Amino acid sequence: MAYAAFRSIGAYAPKKILTNDELSKMVDTSDEWITKRTGIKERRIAAKNETTSDMGVEASKKAIERSGLDKSEIDMVICATISPDYFCMPSTATIISNKLGLGNVTAFDISAACTGFVYILSIAKAFIESGMKKNILIVGAEKLSAITDYTDRGTCILFGDGAGAAIISATENKNEAIIDVHTGADGTYADLLMTPNGGSGSAHDSLDQEAGSCFMQMKGNETFKVAVRTLTKDVVEILEANKIESSEINHFIPHQANYRIIKAVGDALKMKDEQVVLTVGKFGNTSGASIPMAMNEIYENGLLKSGELMLLDAFGGGLTWGSALVPFSPLK
Ligand code: ACO
């Protein structure tokens, strides 16, 4: 049987920094409020002509280079995004594969909001274990600034742009395989987080509508409570199912939505500060890109070593959630 190994990570953050002080000039808020309630100090904003696929390509180049693979060996590309280059088609994954010159690959997007990266990890694992694919490029990429309402202080302080990518490859060595991935969803909470217009369920009867009607809307406080509950339950379940103690985790990499959520979940799981990866302060919430960007941060800082065990935990619009137990298994 083939197993799926997590071979490499890469990420990209746009140059432009949007600070809390700059946001305080745009909406009625302050650096003090944002820092205290979210832990966010700044976030990155893509250039006007920089697309989600552009950022995905930059992250992918690093992941491919670090994997030791030749790009011709990649047979599938999956992109998790809620801010695709184009509404409906073509998919951002096909644009990324074309820009990378990957030739004939299977390529598609999925929509699971902030849980997107864990979802594409589970899909990649399944394709590899079934023997259908050998080397899969997974990309979480978001230009959330394109769907953020910069007059709504309840959301615009949270979100940022960026991308992360990873290579998942077939292996016969069970010791280097992804241990488990759990995913779930509950549509009864769909209205907590949504972009209400622009699709076939839209209140508008045509796509010819004001751009503003396609922005994200969120019931932040309700989302917060469900997030803490779900993220904690999710981790407890995956650890118990695999008979792993939280003390055995080298790097707990949760979705970077809010420092208070991460702290509450980390405390409930008795994680030590040094186990918990935190990038929300510098990147804000980058949805599907947040976990791979956080993982890349520890990789580039020399903190992620071969064989170390990562625990991923995500939560987002849908509502969706997911967790994964992933040993880091680079070839070089
Ligand atoms: N600046 C100043 N005051 C503000 C701001 C702001 N930016 N935003 C809200 N307030 C005010 C509110 O109006 C309210 O005032 P009131 O008491 O006079 O009514 C007060 O602050 C408290 O508002 P809450 O919404 O209760 O604040 P809360 O502590 O819940 O923080 C936040 C809001 C940061 C949005 C938090 O609820 C949160 O992080 N929620 C979860 C986000 C999340 O995890 N989303 C899921 C993933 S995202 C995805 O899938 C795309």
Position 212 scores a pLDDT of 57
Instruction: Spell out the domain ranges in the chain.
Output: 1-332
Atom of ligand 1 nearest to the CA of 320: 50
Position 197 scores a pLDDT of 79
Tokens 């071979």 found at: 7
Query: Read out DSSP for 138-189?
Result: EEEEEEGGGG--TT-HHHHTTB-EEEEEEEEEEES-GGGB--EEEEEE-GGG
Which band of pLDDT confidence, cut at 50, 70 and 90, is reported for residue 154?
A: very high
Q: Is 259 in the pocket of ligand 1 (CB under 6 A)?
A: no
Position 305 scores a pLDDT of 97
**Percent over 70 (pLDDT), the chain:** 97
Average of pLDDT values for 267-290? Answer: 96
Please report, to the nearest 10 degrees, the dihedral formed by the alpha carbons of residues 73, 76, 82, 83 taken in order: 50
Is there a contact between 256 and 231 (Cβ–Cβ < 8 Å)?
A: no
Q: How far, in Å, from the CA of 157 to the mean position of ligand 1?
A: 9
Atom of ligand 1 nearest to the CA of 285: 48
**pLDDT tens by residue, 55-94:** 999 999 999 999 999 999 999 999 999 999 998 899 999 9
**pLDDT tens by residue, 51-60:** 999 999 999 9
Phi-psi region of 161 (alpha: psi -120 to 50; beta: other; left: phi over 0): beta
Which band of pLDDT confidence, cut at 50, 70 and 90, is reported for residue 207?
A: low
CATH number of 1-332: 3.40.47.10
